[in-house]
Copies of this chain bind each other. A is one copy, B any other.
Amino acid sequence: MLNVMWGCLVLVLFFISGSFCINPNAEKELDKVTKLPGQGFNVNFAHYSGYVTVNEESERALFYWFFEAVDDPSSKPLVLWLNGGPGCSSIAFGLAEELGPFHIEKDGKTLYWNPYSWNLAANLLFLDSPVGVGYSYSNTSSDHQNNGDVRTAADSLAFLLKWFERFPEYKGRDFYITGESYAGHYVPQLSQAIVRDNHGLKKPAINLKGFMVGNALTDDYHDHLGLFQFMWSVGMISDQTYKQANALCDYESFLTPSEQCNKILDQANEEIGNIDSYSIFTPACTDKFSILNHFLRKSNRVGYLRRSYDPCTEQHSKIYFNLPEVQEALHVHKRNSSFKWVTCSEEVSNGWKDSPKTVLDVYRELIESGLRIWVFSGDTDAVIPVTSTRYSIDALKLPTIAPWRAWYDDGQVGGWTQEYKGLTFVTVRGAGHEVALHRPKQALTLVKSFLAGTSMPSSEQISNS
């Protein structure tokens, strides 16, 4: 009763004082997305997008897009998804290509529903992090060239604390952080920041239960070791380049390798040719494919056939998220006229300030803290391949709880899994770097198992998804 009265009072104040004093509930309602351009279908869940200012002084503001679960959101956990780069937008990749509900058609203007969206399993929050990524920005523009792991974690924590004020019904809700690629740094680092920030609190707003990362940069030495082995094992590079890469890049940083390591990586790139290293067995997005696929797509629209794999999906978001009407619908702040939305910001990645060579120490701390930790790997990725992740996990020297075995999805092997004390490892067969893009159904099975805290399905179990 008190709450209701207080709410009314604040609402009145809000209308009187404009933005001076905003009711959290009103802020949330202002963020509600009512009409999304190109959405020719209805959805039965609410979604919200907008900004949370994480630093008042510099005016750093992070953009989020939040989707309530399709069914019964109040009983479902909250899951945050982060993309990496550094500099890449979670809206561009996680949402629009992979596990979000809205994917973009070839025309860059219309949307279709992703039947394997993770908001079938959870309330799903995408965050463009840090500033300079996607629609997130700082009014102190030098901030864009001075991001790094430490500030990213601090700003993301600040974002979450404020976001829970705006969406108080999620305070204390079971919360999980997920992400891929360079988010292999962000996710454990943010988890660590939350665990430390929660220390001593009896009922913390952020009720972090665990995290899950895929094709995640984890430990530069082991990631390099696995990368070169994988590239050689699938035939992408010559014997000579393999040997030289191992010799010259072994203790190098992934983000800023030395000149001699860079030289051999250039040589490897030359040999690899024009393939999509993020998914080595699918076609690359070339002009020719674009035309061909347009035709195939048309033919594919028959019956219940799944739409064919589209390697040019990134191109479509470049159109969609630059449309003024889309930005208006998503409550994107009007920035200077030269602003162009990009999927990955070079300004951000080139200016990256701090990136430790390993986050295995963070894993050790968080395993100790009792968080649920899952690591997955699409096994056709040659950027952070399955071999890299195997070497990195092996370096943790964790006892085995359940040995290596195949897991199944509708009678087919979905990949392999091993359960260690404190960490579960899952591979996804035939998936590239963006697991939920290449194997959407298996990725949904994966996140469901992770959230339920159960083992991956065995051959006897058939998933309902």
Contact of A286 among B237, B281, B405, B412 (CB under 8 A): B412
Contact of A283 among B280, B406, B412 (CB under 8 A): B412
Contact A281:B235 (CB < 8 A) given known A271-B416, A411-B288: no
By a CB distance below 8 angstroms, the chain B residues around A429 are 235, 275, 280-281
Are A405 and B273 interface neighbours, CB within 8 A?
Answer: yes
* Chain A interfacial residues counted at CB < 8 A: 57
The CA-CA distance from A283 to B459 in the complex, in Å, is 14
A295-317 CB contacts (< 8 Å) to partner B: 295-296, 298-300, 302-305
Q: Is A234 an interface residue (CB 8 A)?
A: yes
The CA-CA distance from A84 to B235 in the complex, in Å, is 24
Are A273 and B235 interface neighbours, CB within 8 A?
Answer: no
By a CB distance below 8 angstroms, the chain B residues around A386 are 233-235
Contact A238:B299 (CB < 8 A) given known A229-B233, A288-B411: no
Chain A interface, >50% SS class:
mixed
Q: Is A274 an interface residue (CB 8 A)?
A: yes
**0/1 per residue, A185-196, Cβ < 8 Å to B?**
000000000000
Q: Is A27 an interface residue (CB 8 A)?
A: no
By a CB distance below 8 angstroms, the chain B residues around A299 are 302-305
The CA-CA distance from A387 to B273 in the complex, in Å, is 19
Chain A residues with CB under 8 Å of chain B are: 229-230, 232-241, 271-275, 280-281, 283-284, 286-289, 295-296, 298-300, 302-305, 377, 379-380, 386-387, 390, 394, 403-406, 408, 410-413, 415-416, 418, 427, 429-430, 459
A–B pairs, 22, beta carbons within 8 Å? A229-B233, A233-B234, A233-B386, A234-B386, A235-B386, A235-B415, A238-B404, A239-B404, A240-B403, A273-B408, A273-B413, A273-B459, A274-B413, A275-B412, A283-B412, A286-B412, A287-B411, A288-B410, A289-B411, A299-B302, A299-B304, A300-B305
Given A232-B390, A239-B390, 19 more A-B residue pairs with CB atoms under 8 Å apart are: A229-B229, A232-B387, A233-B234, A233-B387, A235-B429, A239-B404, A240-B403, A240-B404, A241-B404, A271-B406, A272-B406, A273-B405, A274-B408, A288-B410, A288-B412, A296-B305, A299-B302, A299-B303, A299-B304
